[in-house]
Amino acid sequence: MEKLIKRYIKKDDPETLHDLRVYARKVLSNLEKEGKIDLGLKELLKKSSKLRDTDVLLEICKNKKAKKYLKQKHKKLRKKFLKWLKDFKSLVITLEPQKHKEISLKKCKEILSESFLNKDEKSLHKIRIEIKKCRYTNPKYEKKFKLLQDTLGKMHDYYNCERLLLKLNQNPKTAVKKKLKWLKKAEKKRIKVLKVLDS
């Protein structure tokens, strides 16, 4: 963790920030099983969320006006995050006993029982969060859930690109097209995962 933080402070690298966030999620996931939480890591995810979004959008939004806007936003967000990161401290605390630490496969099936195609972005984002929980608490199906989660994530990225382009009065046609492409892929994966869970 310390190595990743030092590396990111030294160099603005999107992959290092991504690795830092993945590491934080894994640690938090394992702590949750023990009824604990690291408040420092939870705050790290919160503080770096918008910065990570700009990294992703800089990669996928090819519009010149959008790129200029994102570079300026990225610079401000990174400066703010680095200031916070220099004083980062891990703080593990024990949570109140929880009755339902794990999400049952029955619950996961319920989440995947309806088509993604007729759902709005807000609903799909909530579903993606629930799929993450399914992934972390059902190791046998982790790879399947991860593929589905990643596909929905790609769709969400292009949705964010679409929103940004509309905000900047730019044509979002390409972003919309790619968003729909990833949504269709996610729907196919949803059907496959549901079949695996039913078998």
What DSSP line would sit under 98-160, residue for residue?
A: -S--S--HHHHHHHTSS-STT--HHHHHHHHHHHHHHHHH-GGGHHHHHHHHHHHHHHHHHHH
Cα 7 to Cα 29: distance, rounded to the nearest angstrom: 24
- What is the domain extent for residue 111? 102-199
Lowest mean pLDDT among 31-35, 37-41, 67-71, 119-123: 31-35
- Which is more confidently placed, 63 or 30? 63
Same domain, 107 and 198: yes
Same domain, 94 and 115: no
Q: Three-state SS for 27?
A: helix
Same domain, 54 and 76: yes
Same domain, 112 and 129: yes
Same domain, 106 and 53: no
Cα-based distances in Å from 12 to 2, 52, 105: 16, 11, 40
Q: Tally the domains of the chain.
A: 2
CB-side neighbour CA atoms (13 Å) of 14: 13
pTM of model > 0.85: yes
User: Confidence band (pLDDT; 50, 70, 90) for 102?
Assistant: low
Same domain, 84 and 149: no
Amino acid residing at 143: K
Task: Select from 50, 79, 98 the last residue of a domain.
Answer: 98
Same domain, 8 and 79: yes
Same domain, 154 and 185: yes
Same domain, 116 and 42: no
Same domain, 17 and 109: no
Model confidence over 51-92: pLDDT tens digits?
999 999 999 999 999 999 999 999 999 999 999 999 999 999
Same domain, 133 and 83: no
Task: Select from 37, 65, 98 the last residue of a domain.
Answer: 98
pLDDT at 108 over 70: yes
- Which is more confidently placed, 175 or 26? 175
Model confidence over 115-149: pLDDT tens digits?
999 999 999 999 998 898 888 778 899 999 999 99
164: buried, middle or exposed (CB in 10 Å: 19+, 13-18, 0-12)? buried
Same domain, 111 and 180: yes
- Look at residue 100 in the predicted model and tell me its pLDDT: 46
Over residues 158-187, the mean pLDDT reads: 97
Cα 160 to Cα 179: distance, rounded to the nearest angstrom: 9
Cα 127 to Cα 154: distance, rounded to the nearest angstrom: 14
Task: Select from 37, 63, 98 the last residue of a domain.
Answer: 98
